[in-house]
Structure 1
Amino acid sequence: MSPDLLIALVMLTNFTLVATSRINKAIQVAVAQGVILGLMPLAMGLGRHVHILAMAAAAIAVKGWFIPFLLRRALRHVKIHREVDPFIGYTASLLLCAAGTGLSLVLAHNLPLKPGATPAFLVPAALATLFTGFLLLVSRRKALTQVVGYLVLENGIYLFALLLVEDMPVLVETGILLDLFVGVFVMGIVINHIRTAFDSTDTRHLAELKD
């Protein structure tokens, strides 16, 4: 499979994530994005390296199964299915995502990268994915949707890591995945506290939580 096709799919998932109000669909799209990114090293012809194969398999397992399992379990407990009233509306979010993608293309064009070393749109896709994750984090009220934003943000970091994937020690990516685990677990605790105290997962209630 062509890496350019996978990059195009990543960009498509970014737009889908900011346009959907259904939390379960957002989780499904984030899963699809994680699996696509796990396949990216193989599409780039790096499958000859054992440590890269191990990294790709770990990324697919963590992003495509384990973390989504935790999120779906949390979704069943909170019984909230839609992001009803985000800080930034869905039309505005789409426009911001489009603007961020365009800006990513401009910024990537001005970065001093080695010609021909990576797929042409890898860096713009990484920047756009980072921006999309940040947009979800700051524009959504529900804690679960913000966790999805955190996952997307990490996906952008993962894309950047592919620039040096042949020289990057496995420990670097392992550290990123561990940070992702910690972030998801912390957000799970926060979700539980909000739901217990307020019967809601709206993060506006965080200001009212006491020890």
Structure 2
Amino acid sequence: MSPDFLIALTMLTNFTLVATSRVNKAIQLVVVQGILLGLIPIAMGLGRHLHILFMALSAIAVKGWLIPFLFRRALREVHIRREVDPYVGYTMSLLLCALGTGLSLVLAHGLPLKPGTSPTFLVPAALATLFTGFLLLVSRRKALTQVAGYLVLENGIYLFGLLLVEEMPILVETGILLDLFVGVFVMGIVINHIRSAFDSTDTRHLAELKD
């Protein structure tokens, strides 16, 4: 399978993520995106390196099994189904995502890259995924959706890491996955405390914590 095709699917999930109001669907899309990212280095022909193959399989396991397990457990606890009233509407979010993707394609041509870097769309896809994750973080009210935004943001960082994946030691790759796990774990604690204190995961209620 072509790596460019997998990258195109990854960018398509970005648009679907910002357009959906269902929390469960957003979780499923994040899982799909994570699995696609795990397959990209293999499609690039880098599976011949044992540490890269291990990294790719670990990414698929963490993003395709561990994360959905934690998400679904949190979803059962908080009993939310939809992002009802986001800070930025879904139509505007979709337009902003399209704008960010277009800017990513433009900016990618100005970045200094290692000669012979491939595939061609890896850099704009990384920039677009970073922007999408940031957009979800700042435009959604529900804590679970914001966690999904954090994961998409991390996926963009992962894509950037693939540019130099052959030179990066396995410790760095493991550190990326560890950061991902710690982020989900910490946000799980936050969600639990919000639910216990306010019987809601709407982050507007955090304003009640100030003096």
Length-normalised TM-score, structure 2: 0.97
Amino acid at match of 1:82: R
CA distance in 1, matches of 2:90, 2:182: 29
Partner of 2:169: 169
Q: CA deviation at 1:139?
A: 0.3
CA distance in 2, matches of 1:180, 1:4: 25
Amino acid at match of 1:83: E
Partner of 1:123: 123
CA distance in 2, matches of 1:83, 1:61: 27
Partner of 2:18: 18
Partner of 2:209: 209
Q: CA deviation at 1:209?
A: 3.4
CA distance in 2, matches of 1:33, 1:116: 26
Q: CA deviation at 1:152?
A: 0.4
CA distance in 1, matches of 2:156, 2:35: 13
Matched, 1:150 2:150: yes
Q: CA deviation at 1:115?
A: 4.2
Partner of 1:105: 105
Q: SS at 1:47's partner residue?
A: helix
State the identity as a percent: 85
Q: SS at 2:47's partner residue?
A: coil
CA distance in 2, matches of 1:122, 1:147: 24
Q: Which ranges of structure 1 fall in alignment gaps of 5 or more residues?
A: none
Backbone CA RMSD of aligned residues: 1.2
Matched, 1:93 2:87: no
Partner of 2:69: 69
Amino acid at match of 2:90: Y
Matched, 1:59 2:62: no
Q: Which ranges of structure 2 fall in alignment gaps of 5 or more residues?
A: none
CA distance in 2, matches of 1:198, 1:186: 18
Q: CA deviation at 1:207?
A: 2.5
CA distance in 1, matches of 2:68, 2:118: 29
Partner of 2:47: 47
Q: How many residue pairs get matched?
A: 211
Partner of 1:29: 29
Partner of 2:3: 3
Amino acid at match of 1:170: I
Matched, 1:80 2:80: yes
Q: SS at 1:12's partner residue?
A: helix
Hey, which bits of structure 1, 4+ residues long, moved more than 3 A?
Answer: none
